[in-house]
Structure 1
């Protein structure tokens, strides 16, 4: 039962050594960070079993009855079984002592023992964020960070990004100030509604002048409340009106004709006062819609803030309205900012402004999520003792409730819309699910007639014109965006004109620039057309493709080792990191059936070997042909074609997941668009290497229950789950909150 020690510069390197020495079934006993890197203690899984077997074999057996026997030559005396057993026991005991000493040494350094997730949760709790939000955020920790187990600047930057994107705000002040209508500030007594009313009015006057604005107060309870707002109205030179708390707003509209921006300072009420519902009802009782803005005191206790948001939102809903916006007040009086931000984020409120003093209007600023999160994380206080993971496990389970899922879903969907052109169309296709088949057909026709739009496409990746193995359909074609990424919604083959050259020409007529990625060599007509157009094109071909090189006609596979090496490219192949080693050589190629009487043209053949990035194992070989005029430009095109290999496999898996028996009536072409679109999105996210993609992957894998298989497949399953959860929330009547 020998325990082995491995040290690598990082976790990946240390684990590679473990697998090389002990195999994939090695047992990891402990790990820690040292000055040399990451240290892992491991043993082979079979070692314990072997040790048990050795002990059993050393145990003396009962003596058999003596019986006559022929004389035998004298044998050397065998070792005493009891002594062998004692020796093995002593060796095992010594190894167990060594293991205990090493494990005890690690326990004495809890910070190095804890995972990165635990350290991030600790960081959030020290800042004042609650355990529910902390676990929700950390549950989406990317694997690229998790393997390091080090709370460094990159991990903290990731944490700040996750919090900032959960904190919704205004893009600019005009989004709020330039919208005409009635705004009502609501909230408990003493939260700062009157001062905030004056600050907002002053900012509006600075932008639009005094003529369009009017102030209204419903606070007839506090002594001097009217007078305080009246002083502000005189200073701003805007009219002020008084409204009884039980009067509808419509009673004043006749007197306020010509005013395009009306702000109401409501009477302060405890969130536990049953009259809160009545108050909000009166605000919504008129003909004109009223925008409700909830004020939250940054210095209040988290429990109080939670109750305020819940009760006032219930009141708004009971009155037939909705409460989405908030303003944080008294930031200067708060010891920490994180508790109030936690409330805002968990309830999905949009934070408009932050108020931090009494001066009008200086002491109020537009909410900037990034700066607020930075400030919140900077104000950390050590906890009395580190929080054990078990103590926050219930919060992690609660983070999966409907509100948490809905909030994360909205964030992920919005990020996908911003990142992937065509994703909004994929959503529209999915929305046809459940409609009668005839309506599905009509709406699908309208949806696809102008897709893709002019300027949205840089080129096309044309799929093979044959059925995907095991299925009755062919992989749709995929358009390329100006940035070189795949459009999220592919193009069905059967909706396109027949003939390769006709398709290429039709794409050009649809304002698709002349870049074409092909599977297989173009036929004679298409090849001649591509050359006449001087298009940028590249074909992925088989090793049996014949070309002319150095006066001989040979297959590409037979030319391996002849070409000039041009270096390696990082890639992903079948869901795993790899390296593509490229070589190239000049060739002459003839298009089959060319009208040029078998005239050949100058091209470059590209030969590639894909190897596993970690082990160096050969994973596959690929071959490409590109016109000589492109020179070294085709490298990105080769990579796109190579990594597009996975699309038919992913589309087939998605097709099987979208079972009409479970989803209801579903046209075959609609099902194929949904399946191929999900495959394209999953493959894009698997291939992308930027931080935004890393964050999106982690969020998706968190929604789908984590990664338990190939990453691209896991992402595909998570995307299916994303759309199904989205539909569930919409069926519950919460769909509008996705874009709030």
Structure 2
């Protein structure tokens, strides 16, 4: 099977060239409309017999630019063409069917269509076999190109962000220095950029640093009336290991010292942790107050009715992570309680990662939070993360704990104390001239 191309000004002239050159047995593979004519691809099995009536082929140079859409043969010559042309096309179909076995070896040969009012020629394209074999390779290549483009975009974004940061540092060196100090103290980048933008223009580094610390202290919300002052019903919730039960015991002990043990009641709905009730009952026995256990919302409502005459009622809950499905069930139990005015407090470790605090607050905000309690301040190397989470979520801070002693290690939250503690931790553990590790490395280098 051999293939030749013919060019003509129109379809009739090109078909005439095919008939004169290859004879009636030639098979038209495809046709394509060009800017200055028509191109026909024809195939033949044997050398054609040269006709004495053959005219010189019209050679036209292939155009540089081709039209993307290919009209059909009927659109070019119309259905009013000569009968000899229609007969020629029908004869080509019969010839193709007769030589189907020999033409299977030609991969680019398309399957011709009928001629009843339709064009015999098709757009030049790959056969289904070739398309099926090359499709996975093309998809893999496209996916690889997309991944490379995405990687380049990420790198460019990182470089542009770095250039912008360098430009900002050159234009406002003091702002860049203060932002870096706040981030090392644990303050989130967004909050650090926000507060630094308020720095007075004409000021030195020390005055600007003190101004930022005072500004952060003013941004921290502190609960105006805490539990020990007003009493009422409060539920303490939070992830596991944050010290909820110990905090409940500290609050109950301080309330018993202030109002008397008979005016304090404890309730636990922690039915998951082993010996949870035994632990809180031990604290209640030492303090001298009443303690009960509730399994569901109905029992909780009954116990709250029994304790209705007490000044302070504290509810201890089971510790669940923000992704634990049992957390939703516990929150629903609290929502279904018929007792009004239950104040909810979120207990969080002050030494947690910033992202963990963000996710925890978002998960427990399904119910209205009255405030939060930061625990384990004595185990912190940085307080900026807790401060950032409280400021950004506008969550009031009620109490802080800094040890295991009951009830001494519980304090009413104070914004100035939190900022001062954060600055001291930064100076002690982050600054180069106060870091033991940096001093050791410097000695080794010398």
Whether the TM-score (by the shorter chain) exceeds 0.5 is: yes
- Among 211, 232, 237, the alignment partner of 1:181 is 232
CA distance in 2, matches of 1:378, 1:206: 32
Alignment of 1:163-202 (within 5 A): 163-171=216-224, 175-202=226-253
User: CA deviation digits over 1:117-161, x for unaligned, max 9?
Assistant: 2222111011011101111212222xxx2234x312x21221111
Moved runs in structure 1, 4+ residues, more than 3 A? 110-114, 245-248
Asked if the contact 1:248/1:283 (under 8 Å) is kept, the reply is no
- Cα root mean square deviation, aligned: 2.2
Match of 1:220 in 2: 271
User: CA deviation digits over 1:556-611, x for unaligned, max 9?
Assistant: xxxxxxxxxxxxxxxxxxxxxxxxxxxxxxxxxxxxxxxxxxxxxxxxxxxxxxxx
Gaps of 5+ in 1: 1-109, 317-321, 384-740
1:224 Cα shift? 1.3
Report the TM-score, using the length of structure 2 for normalisation: 0.56
Alignment of 1:639-678 (within 5 A): none
Match of 2:193 in 1: 135
CA distance in 2, matches of 1:204, 1:266: 19
Asked if the contact 1:220/1:267 (under 8 Å) is kept, the reply is yes
Where 2:262 maps in the other structure, the secondary structure is coil
- Among 301, 317, 320, the alignment partner of 2:353 is 301
Match of 1:146 in 2: 201
Alignment of 1:87-166 (within 5 A): 114-141=172-199, 145-148=200-203, 150-152=204-206, 154-166=207-219
CA distance in 1, matches of 2:198, 2:298: 48
CA distance in 2, matches of 1:303, 1:245: 32
Where 2:267 maps in the other structure, the secondary structure is strand
Where 1:307 maps in the other structure, the secondary structure is helix
Asked if the contact 1:298/1:331 (under 8 Å) is kept, the reply is yes
| Pairing 1:255–2:306 present | yes
Where 1:258 maps in the other structure, the secondary structure is coil
Where 1:146 maps in the other structure, the secondary structure is coil
Match of 2:397 in 1: 351
Alignment of 1:251-330 (within 5 A): 251-285=302-336, 286-313=338-365, 315-316=366-367, 322-330=368-376
Where 1:349 maps in the other structure, the secondary structure is coil
Match of 1:732 in 2: none
Where 2:230 maps in the other structure, the secondary structure is coil
1:248 Cα shift? 5.8
User: CA deviation digits over 1:67-88, x for unaligned, max 9?
Assistant: xxxxxxxxxxxxxxxxxxxxxx
1:115 Cα shift? 2.7
1:253 Cα shift? 2.5
Match of 1:379 in 2: 425
Report the TM-score, using the length of structure 1 for normalisation: 0.34
1:245 Cα shift? 4.8
Asked if the contact 2:344/2:370 (under 8 Å) is kept, the reply is yes
CA distance in 1, matches of 2:311, 2:408: 24
Where 1:216 maps in the other structure, the secondary structure is strand
Asked if the contact 2:322/2:363 (under 8 Å) is kept, the reply is yes
Asked if the contact 2:238/2:347 (under 8 Å) is kept, the reply is yes
1:344 Cα shift? 0.9
1:113 Cα shift? 7.2
CA distance in 1, matches of 2:299, 2:172: 58
| Change in CA separation of 1:302 and 1:237 when aligned onto 2, cut-off 3 Å | same
Match of 1:497 in 2: none
Asked if the contact 1:182/1:290 (under 8 Å) is kept, the reply is yes
Q: Which has the higher contact order (CA 8 A, sep 6+)?
A: 2
User: CA deviation digits over 1:45-104, x for unaligned, max 9?
Assistant: xxxxxxxxxxxxxxxxxxxxxxxxxxxxxxxxxxxxxxxxxxxxxxxxxxxxxxxxxxxx
Asked if the contact 2:234/2:344 (under 8 Å) is kept, the reply is yes
User: CA deviation digits over 1:172-198, x for unaligned, max 9?
Assistant: xx6432323210000011110000000
| Pairing 1:234–2:234 present | no
Where 1:262 maps in the other structure, the secondary structure is strand
Gaps of 5+ in 2: 1-167, 433-446
| Change in CA separation of 1:245 and 1:305 when aligned onto 2, cut-off 3 Å | farther
Asked if the contact 2:304/2:339 (under 8 Å) is kept, the reply is no
Highest Rg: 1 or 2? 2
Match of 2:384 in 1: 338
Asked if the contact 2:264/2:311 (under 8 Å) is kept, the reply is yes
CA distance in 2, matches of 1:137, 1:339: 15
Alignment of 1:346-425 (within 5 A): 346-380=392-426, 381=430
CA distance in 1, matches of 2:169, 2:334: 53
1:114 Cα shift? 4.6
| Change in CA separation of 1:279 and 1:139 when aligned onto 2, cut-off 3 Å | same
Asked if the contact 1:295/1:328 (under 8 Å) is kept, the reply is yes
Where 1:342 maps in the other structure, the secondary structure is helix
User: CA deviation digits over 1:351-409, x for unaligned, max 9?
Assistant: 111111111011111111112101212322259xxxxxxxxxxxxxxxxxxxxxxxxxx
